[in-house]
Amino acid sequence: MKHQIAVFASGNGSNAENLIAYFKKNNFAQVGLVLTNNPNAGVIARANRLKTPVCVFSKKDFQDSNKILEVLNEYQIDWIVLAGFLLLFPENILKRYPNKIINIHPALLPKYGGKGMYGMHVHKAVIENNETETGITIHFVNEKYDDGKVIFQAKTVVESNDTPEDIAKKIHKLEYKWLPKVIEKQIKKGETL
């Protein structure tokens, strides 16, 4: 049986789509479910197009009930990937999936992480601080924002005339290249533990 991955996303979902497509070509894992707290998220149409089930949930169900755990059980999910997911993960899910929940952050943590540091806010802050490089961080999720153990980082150059949109493009390129590979490697590593 293939390892089952659930992807949580709150927005556009291009990383979610890239993960679904990558694992469709793969015999040993698949994205079995996409979950979102945002009924208007672009990720819904992307998942539908790729025939991947979607669960839309409320913030209250996520934070104050076991409903999401029940859905994850129903789909026999064993790994969770957060790709542009904006809510803090609750304790009940963290406990059920120790070292099995992975986030992608669009900066070189510990820089430019924490509450409010997402999307364009991150890239604007990078420019305001005259950084000459930025990048992506793939890390385990714990009870704080952008705080768990780092699994992987990759860097890109920030040119002096780069706009936040230019940086977003460079970051997405890195994310599409590395996130599926790092997740695959991590699942394989988890198998042999």
Catalytic (active-site) positions: 105
Q: How many CB atoms lie under 10 A from the CB of residue 149?
A: 9
Nearest to 112 by CA among 101, 126, 100: 126
- For ligand GRF, the binding residue among 4, 15, 37, 38 (CB under 6 A) is 15
Beta bridge partners of 104: 83, 138
Q: Nearest distance from residue 24's CB to ligand GRF, in Å?
A: 17
- For ligand GRF, the binding residue among 4, 33, 55, 84 (CB under 6 A) is 84
Q: How far apart are CA 174 and CA 137, in angstroms?
A: 10
- Rule CB under 6 A: say whether 175 interacts with ligand GRF: yes
Residue 158 or 171 having the CB closest to ligand GRF: 171
- Rule CB under 6 A: say whether 135 interacts with ligand GRF: no
- Rule CB under 6 A: say whether 105 interacts with ligand GRF: yes
Residue 47 or 94 having the CB closest to ligand GRF: 47
Q: Which stretch binds ligand GRF (CB under 6 A): 6-14, 24-32, 46-54, 158-166?
A: 6-14
Q: How far apart are CA 14 and CA 9, in angstroms?
A: 10
- For ligand GRF, the binding residue among 11, 32, 135, 180 (CB under 6 A) is 11
- For ligand GRF, the binding residue among 80, 158, 171, 183 (CB under 6 A) is 171
- Residue 151 and residue 192 in contact, taking contact as beta carbons nearer than 8 Å: no
- Residue 151 and residue 102 in contact, taking contact as beta carbons nearer than 8 Å: yes
- For residue 29, how many C-alpha atoms fall within 13 Å in the half-sphere facing its CB? 27
- Rule CB under 6 A: say whether 100 interacts with ligand GRF: no
- Listed in order, strand segments (DSSP E) in the chain are 3-8, 29-36, 54-56, 79-83, 101-105, 133-140, 150-157
- Rule CB under 6 A: say whether 170 interacts with ligand GRF: no
What residues make contact with ligand GRF under the rule CB under 6 A?
A: 9, 11-15, 83-84, 104-106, 118-119, 171, 175
